Structure 1
């Protein structure tokens, strides 16, 4: 009897120790700082995700992300100070500052006199093992911002003359997205999107053996032109399945005055006047390179799963801006329409609600302070953008009462209360859209007397935002209709 009691007591002690150790592991796991993976696309518009409403595209991995966390449906980029909108977008993202302050920061970087830490530096100082691969397009070298840097890419893959002003007709086959002889994304022998996935997967496999959590900045060049991908991805989108955009125009009426005319690089990709066939081909190639990038994102997600770190990792996905690809007679992103200034944005990870959509207007650069908060890093005073976490937690309903947009000195925009006002100073023209009833921005209400009060309210809000943004352009110097 005594032996039985002894063994029972001994077994109970062992079980108690095991239980305590398991609890210790759980507590320790809770204390472990999360890993963070930031995935950044280039030129990807908000309306290119299947699960968010576009049945033409093929994005199973982005769909998975969107359904695994929170999708922000109204995410904006402020614009740019030159034709390379990605420069301004990334400068804002890495400095955390609004566009015209980021422009000054970019100028100081060029003079090697910018003193504030950039996003990667802040994460390193917070104890993260930081990593970057892919597109950079920021003045300061990536090696000075992240600890681990591989395959830094330029602003865009090299484009050839054959890639412009095409296709001229259905017999124009001088360009094929899978033709590796044109270089572009194929330069070096392996598609650049595949290189990003391979780089990321290797880093994840190595990083799990380190003591510090990791922060990954994975910047795809896709789906920027030249929109190249393996042939099977192009064949996924037969031309007869590609719908012509509802907003199709042969040419935008104010393209020259607003700085998006026939000489702008992005706009030279397709012939003028626009043809239905050329727009469909460009959209086919756009969807194909997105589908190919989506497959690479799947590889990164698989690597996270294989590492055992997925449950302790936040994943944030967005793009630097959108793209027209034939909408409103435009090809590029140098305009204030939603297809060009609005991007997808997903936040996924521990304690993030699943399959939730938030319609509040936000800026894509809000991901910078969001990730600082998730990492437990202090937000510096100079960071102007706002964390998305209060919106995700339901602590507030909006980050901004109105959204500001700009392009050089030729365009200004404000979006608030379901309306958008666009100003073209060089054309002396205002355009007003009711976004609730006209989400594709096709019916200009600026000259409708019934909307005079709305136009005046938005005009005053735009002038107020200019002061907030330190905007150098004085709109009151111009006459508007």
Structure 2
């Protein structure tokens, strides 16, 4: 794998929430200010066609941490229980496994193979349908005798109904969850005394709404030309499930966003300015994490991976947030750098977010389960030509996407099809000719053959998935204890030769 013999790398896995592909300057988006993610990209590989497996937080993350699709692991909604997590395999192989921040697991407080979990969940969790759980953010506010912000407190803001979930963070900067989580991770890096290599998963809650950078970061985008939203002219012709989804967002302030039927260009630009500024705020925190690794003398022997669980429409096609299959939602940024990764790569192959699971296991010299549907990305990161012919994404009806029992996306080359299991309508786009997905070819007779073939590919994929994953239920049973109880601390005989001792730390 290109790693030093007998020396397994540390692995830092940074996952933001709801970050679009067009949010990193190194990916070709000059409207962004992301010097630290650009620095990380220069050291490693950028994946230009990374697709999620589900357009919602918990389903996407459950898929990522099991290496299986939602229809295999059974998690289609935020409140469905996880039954497996490959982190336990890292712990059993001698890694110190640590989670700081958001993972969106269910139950929230489960161990899921981690020795340590320092949980901070959503920016807005004050909602009757969410589980009662006091996370580290709650505790930080409690220690200061303050009330944690939520949609309940934000509704008192002047003009709340017209802000599209965008405002300035006015409290102490350290209390912002997109600062608190990375700073706790940095603190852990600075203090870790162990002999074992570590797997540190950092779940940054933003730029998920509310879009709330501090004024310092918002000022960086003052007068900056930003890409406008993709028009919503076709909203009346979109699949009925999407129209119902949009109406839901008009009726309910999900995550603090009161969606608007026809936001003005100024309102849409203001929302994007806050969103992109929030990303830059996160970028600075990523830089501090990289600096902390360098200060401990372990940056060069640490694989750092950065990605997100899904994107955000930001009023593209008339939609708020996610739960759809538009590119704004399903296409995410992804960077990997460190031992075994050829620097400066731009990988154009179709890849899936959950492929990072077997990639991390392979880097840690852990055998991959035969039933795992995800594929390791290490051949691509070594510069070898190996890619998927197509990628898939799926979602079932939940509290927001109520108009269908199952929606499935397949992308093959530049062709992209969106299929609704209970309707004759759907979407078919040629992304080379129509990158903004404005020309739906679903009912075009000239593309009937393509549509039928791609629908057949969905059927073939699900059939092959059922055969591939026959061993998954047994793996869930065997791993049940690891889901709720932390693993034992790695000791002699559990970690392999070549584990770094304290002498490797500055």
- TM-score strictly above 0.5: yes
Question: Superposition pairs for residues 453-468 of structure 1, below 5 Å?
Answer: 453-468=449-464
Distance 1:277 1:251, change over 3 A: farther
Q: C-alpha displacement at 1:459, in angstroms?
A: 2.1
Query: Distance between the aligned counterparts of 1:107 and 1:317, measured in 2?
Result: 22
Question: Superposition pairs for residues 127-276 of structure 1, below 5 Å?
Answer: 127-140=94-107, 141-154=109-122, 156=124, 158-160=150-152, 162=155, 176-180=167-171, 190-207=175-192, 209-238=193-222, 241-249=225-233, 251=235, 253-254=237-238, 256-258=240-242, 259-264=244-249, 265=254, 269-276=258-265
Query: Distance between the aligned counterparts of 2:423 and 2:156, measured in 1?
Result: 31
Q: C-alpha displacement at 1:404, in angstroms?
A: 1.6
Alpha-carbon RMSD across the aligned residues, in angstroms, is 3.0
Query: Distance between the aligned counterparts of 1:40 and 1:443, measured in 2?
Result: 33
Residue 426 of structure 2 is aligned to residue 430 of structure 1: yes
Deviates more, 1:255-264 or 1:456-465: 255-264
Q: C-alpha displacement at 1:353, in angstroms?
A: 1.0
Report if the CA contact (8 A) 2:32-2:276 is conserved.
yes
**Match for residue 341 of structure 2?**
352
Q: Deviations over 1:35-74 (max 9, x none)?
A: 1110001000111111111111111111111121111111
**Match for residue 325 of structure 1?**
314
Distance 1:164 1:412, change over 3 A: farther
Distance 1:342 1:125, change over 3 A: same
User: Which 5+ residue runs of structure 1 have no aligned equivalent?
Assistant: 1-27, 181-185, 472-481
Distance 1:173 1:96, change over 3 A: closer
How many corresponding residue pairs?
A: 426
Q: 2:364 aligns with which of 362, 375, 381?
A: 375
**Match for residue 20 of structure 2?**
45
Secondary structure of the residue that 1:58 maps to in structure 2?
A: coil
Distance 1:425 1:351, change over 3 A: closer
**Match for residue 93 of structure 2?**
126
Query: Distance between the aligned counterparts of 1:36 and 1:404, measured in 2?
Result: 27
Secondary structure of the residue that 1:422 maps to in structure 2?
A: strand
What's the TM-score once normalised by structure 1's chain length? 0.81
Query: Distance between the aligned counterparts of 1:55 and 1:44, measured in 2?
Result: 16
Q: 2:37 aligns with which of 62, 67, 87?
A: 62
Query: Distance between the aligned counterparts of 1:247 and 1:144, measured in 2?
Result: 42
Query: Distance between the aligned counterparts of 2:197 and 2:220, measured in 1?
Result: 39
Residue 87 of structure 2 is aligned to residue 87 of structure 1: no
Distance 1:155 1:143, change over 3 A: farther
Distance 1:123 1:86, change over 3 A: same
Residue 392 of structure 2 is aligned to residue 404 of structure 1: yes
Report if the CA contact (8 A) 2:342-2:383 is conserved.
no
Q: C-alpha displacement at 1:426, in angstroms?
A: 5.7
Query: Distance between the aligned counterparts of 2:158 and 2:74, measured in 1?
Result: 32
Deviates more, 1:331-340 or 1:457-466: 457-466
Q: C-alpha displacement at 1:131, in angstroms?
A: 1.0
Secondary structure of the residue that 1:384 maps to in structure 2?
A: coil
With a CA cutoff of 8 Å and minimum separation of 6, indicate the structure with the bigger relative contact order: 2
Q: Deviations over 1:250-302 (max 9, x none)?
A: 95643652352221436953312333222212111110110100110110000
Deviates more, 1:148-157 or 1:315-324: 148-157
Query: Distance between the aligned counterparts of 2:457 and 2:465, measured in 1?
Result: 12
Q: 1:384 aligns with which of 328, 353, 373?
A: 373
**Match for residue 68 of structure 2?**
97
Question: Superposition pairs for residues 292-371 of structure 1, below 5 Å?
Answer: 292-371=281-360
Distance 1:256 1:431, change over 3 A: closer
Query: Distance between the aligned counterparts of 1:437 and 1:163, measured in 2?
Result: 45
Query: Distance between the aligned counterparts of 2:38 and 2:175, measured in 1?
Result: 26
